[in-house]
Amino acid sequence: MDKVKLPLSPQRTTTGFAFSYVERALQESLANRQFGQDDMRKVLEFFEFEALECVYCGNVEIKRWDHLVAVKNGGETVLGNMVPACSKCDDSKRDIAFDVWMQSDFPNSPKSRGIENIQERIEHINAYIQHFEYKIRPLETRLTADELTKLEQVRISILQTRKECEDLIAEYNKRINGKS
């Protein structure tokens, strides 16, 4: 029994993590989302894959579509911004510019994993963006002045709610554990 490798213990969902998803949901809900089956086929045709592969590293275990420009940075779920990616690349890239990340030493970046044709892959991705004429539209440019005001009010309310949650958790921890 001593040699059995135990699975990791469950991770706690923090308020910071939870509220970051609320912000992402806001940004995604206030963005263009037009990426259906026909668009997916156009991506695959553009990259001329023999078999479906990650555009960043060539891995054939694809389960995700990645935003080249992250939602957090104004990216939308549309043709020209969506590419097939393996989970290692998608998790590692996060909201970093794809070309910067691909050439970086970040854990699981193509460079850190020894992928040899990185520059060629970057050029092909840039050609894909240009071919489908993808342009970044920051959230602030998509909304009217009234909508921006409402968004700011919602964000203030979310911050207040987060603070109230964190205060409640601190009080609970202090009562239960004698610490905050």
3-class SS string, 71-114: HHHCCCEECCCEEEEEHHHHHHHCCCCHHHHHCCCCCCCCCCCC
Q: Are strands 33-34 and 77-78 parallel, antiparallel or unpaired?
A: parallel
Do 176 and 105 belong to one domain?
Answer: no
Q: 152 and 129 in one domain?
A: no
Dihedral pair phi/psi, residue 87, rounded to 5° = -65, -35
The reported pLDDT for the residue numbered 121 is: 96
pTM for this predicted structure? 0.84
Same domain, 50 and 126: yes
On the question of pLDDT at 42 being above 70, the answer is yes
> Within a 10 A sphere around the Cβ of 142, how many other Cβ atoms?
15
CA dist., res. 171 & res. 147, Å (int):
36
Residue 37 lies inside a defined structural domain of this protein: yes
User: Could you tell me the pLDDT band of residue 179, with boundaries at 50, 70 and 90?
Assistant: low
Domain with 128, as residue range(s), is: 31-136
User: Do 150 and 102 share a structural domain?
Assistant: no
pLDDT single digits (tens) 95-150: 999 999 999 999 999 999 999 999 999 999 999 999 999 999 999 999 999 999 99
- Looking at the predicted structure, is the pLDDT value of residue 1 above 60? no
Distance from C-alpha of 160 to C-alpha of 165, rounded to nearest angstrom? 9
Burial group, residue 77, by CB count within 10 angstroms (0-12, 13-18, 19+) = middle
% residues pLDDT > 70 (the chain): 98
